[in-house]
Amino acid sequence: MLLFTMCAGMFLVQLDVTVVNVALPSIGTDLGAGLAALQWVVDGYAVVLAALLLTGGALGDVFGHRRVVLAGFALFGAASAACGVAGTAPWLVAARAGQGLGAALLLPGTLAVITNAYPGRAERARALGIWAGVSALALSAGPVLGGAVVAAAGWRPVFWLNVPIVLVAALATRRLVPRGDRGPGRVDVGGIATAAPALGAGVYAVIGGSLVAGLVAVVLLAAFLVVEHRSAHPMLPLDVARRTAAANFVAAAMNFAGIGAILVLTLYLQGVRHAGPLEAGLEVLPLFLPLSVLAPVAGRLAGRFGPRPPMVAGLALGALGMLNLLRLNGSSGYADLLPTLLGLGVGMGLLTTAVVTAAVAGIPPGRAGVASGINNTARQAGGALGVAVLGAEDLHVAGLIAAVLWLVAIGVTLTGVRAPRDNPVARAG
């Protein structure tokens, strides 16, 4: 039940990544929003989530993950209600940013609770497989659920659906998750003050093409590294960052291609093939169903063989799927798109659990929050950048960029991700 409850938090976070995509045309018509504003409806959530995930994980390590998860549920529910009553596009974008704040507390908190509850390598991998499977189920449910709701009642109820789920999950969290003591560290105020704006400015620089934001991000990143090097209780221990760098690069690449492709494919189905919201949601199921089914399987594989084999296999299949986009033209049928949907779905199904397993392998329990925060920051920042970059390209260029990035990620996996026998902490466990 504890695992199920933490999965509910992840379900909400991931559901709101994709549920909005099929509602974008209706939102644009209702609120008079152009393409740039609609991109920010997606990325207003993603940017705040990416900027504050590391902070959310660190706060959980200090104040206790139960408290932080409950705060995340409260913020997420309130912001969802604000989305449901939004009267203008800026209002909706601001409310989506509020959802991102709540999600930044939920995502690393739920993962840290699960990581601490399952200390053994094999059982942890299986639990993370279930967690990732629920995440994938949310991604797959998003377009179908969103399409059905939009077709039946408009786009606003898409956000109201979150509110009862939040209430039930928060009550279950209070009952099932142990209170836990405060961590031994202290809040790294300097780290929070530099990390969050550095991440936010960096993602905004890519989305908005702002040179000033890029320079601000570089300066703040340098300041963050100096602060962390000097801090007695750093939010981002540099040894943890080094040990998880390869896995987190792959995590960013995975979401860059995966989340970016979901937006591109949804707009292609509705804009080029003229599918309705529900029809478009159903047509992307060949992407999401393998992702949902294979995530728990990949967890068992990672527990037995280590994360490398499923990561390499998933990256290779996904790259082939994205290269298939180069074959498409204005007269292509739905069958021509299926290899992309299946390749990406199977690839991400194998990748998702293995990447998380690689990122938290051998990390001490007291650092589970920050380790999961780093991994989820990489994933969400990658997704936000993918929406910005791939959403601005035509189908062929988007497919080529994503495929090349995933091929590079194969090399990073083979050279930088440790096999179980290479990890003394995991071997001792």
Reading the chain (429 residues) residue by residue, the pLDDT tens digits are: 888 888 877 777 777 766 777 788 888 888 888 777 887 888 788 778 877 877 887 788 778 888 888 999 999 999 999 998 988 988 999 999 999 899 888 878 887 888 777 877 677 777 877 777 777 677 667 767 777 888 788 888 888 888 888 888 888 888 887 776 555 567 778 888 888 788 778 777 776 677 898 899 899 989 988 888 887 777 777 777 788 889 899 999 998 998 888 878 877 887 777 777 677 777 877 887 887 788 778 878 887 888 899 999 999 999 999 999 998 877 788 888 999 999 998 998 898 888 888 887 766 666 666 777 788 778 877 887 887 788 778 889 999 999 999 999 999 999 988 765 544 333 333
Asked whether residue 140 is assigned to any structural domain, the reply reads yes
Full domain range(s) for residue 207: 189-234
Q: Do 101 and 214 have their domain in common?
A: no
Label each residue of the chain as H, E or C: CHHHHHHHHHHHHHHHHHCCHHHHHHHHHHHCCCHHHHHHHHHHHHHHHHHHHHHHHHHHHHHCHHHHHHHHHHHHHHHHHHHHCCCCHHHHHHHHHHHHHHHHHHHHHHHHHHHHHCCCHHHHHHHHHHHHHHHHHHHHHHHHHHHHHHHHHCCCHHHHCHHHHHHHHHHHHHHHCCCCCCCCCCCCHHHHHHHHHHHHHHHHHHHHCCHHHHHHHHHHHHHHHHHHHHCCCCCCCHHHHHHCHHHHHHHHHHHHHHHHHHHHHHHHHHHCCCCCHHHHHHHCHHHHHHHHHHHHHHHHHHHHHCCHHHHHHHHHHHHHHHHHHHHCCCCCCHHHHHHHHHHHHHHHHHHHHHHHHHHHCCCCHHHHHHHHHHHHHHHHHHHHHHHHHHHCCCHHHHHHHHHHHHHHHHHHHHHHCCCHHHCHHHHHC
Say whether both 21 and 116 belong to one domain. Answer: yes
Q: What is the pTM of this model?
A: 0.72
Q: Tell me the CATH number at 262.
A: 1.20.1250.20
> Does 105 share its domain with 245?
yes
User: Does the residue 184 lie in any domain?
Assistant: no
How many domains in the chain?
2
225, part of any domain: yes
Within-domain flag for 183: no
**Whether residue 347 is found in the same domain as residue 415:** yes
Residues 120 and 246 in one domain: yes
In-domain check, residue 279? yes
Same domain, 200 and 298: no
